Structure 1
Amino acid sequence: MPSLNVSFTEEELDGVRAAAAAEGKSLKQYLHDLGVREMQRGRFVAGASAWAERLRGEFDDAFPEEVPPSERGGAAAA
């Protein structure tokens, strides 16, 4: 299985160790889980953004008062 060496200052490593201990995990497991969670978070945000963009027109039509002034057709920017 691939592995990775990561450098930390002593102060950073102390903080990471404390965070791992607070979650009841080994340092290795904490850092692994942190990377995986960040990857999953990025995928979630990308999916949520795409979903919101697909619905933007429908939302703007249903709630025209919520469209930012700079994006309203024919309205002067505030």
Structure 2
Amino acid sequence: MPSLNVPFTEEELAGVRAAAAAEGKSLKQYLHDLGVREMHRKQFITGASAWADRLRDEFDDAFPGEVPPAERRGGTAAA
């Protein structure tokens, strides 16, 4: 199985070890799960964005008075 050596500063490694311990995982398992979780998160975001893009016209037709947050006065902070 492929493996990877990742350099950390002493402070970074201490923080990562603490995070792994907080989840009750070994450092190796924690770092593995972190990478896999990030990969799944990106896949989810890509899928959710594509889904929203497919439904955007239908939503706009159903709610013609709704103004997208980015176009509201004050930008996304107004949302």
TM-score normalised over the length of structure 1: 0.84
Distance 1:20 1:60 in 2: 45
Q: Which residue of 2 aligns with 1:53?
A: 53
Unaligned runs of 5+ in 2: 72-79
Percent identity, aligned pairs only, is 85
Structure 1 residues 1-78: aligned runs within 5 Å? 1-68=1-68
Q: Which residue of 2 aligns with 1:75?
A: none
In structure 2, give the amino acid aligned to 1:14: A
Distance 1:24 1:69 in 2: 40
RMSD: 1.7
Q: Which residue of 1 aligns with 2:74?
A: none
In structure 2, give the amino acid aligned to 1:53: D
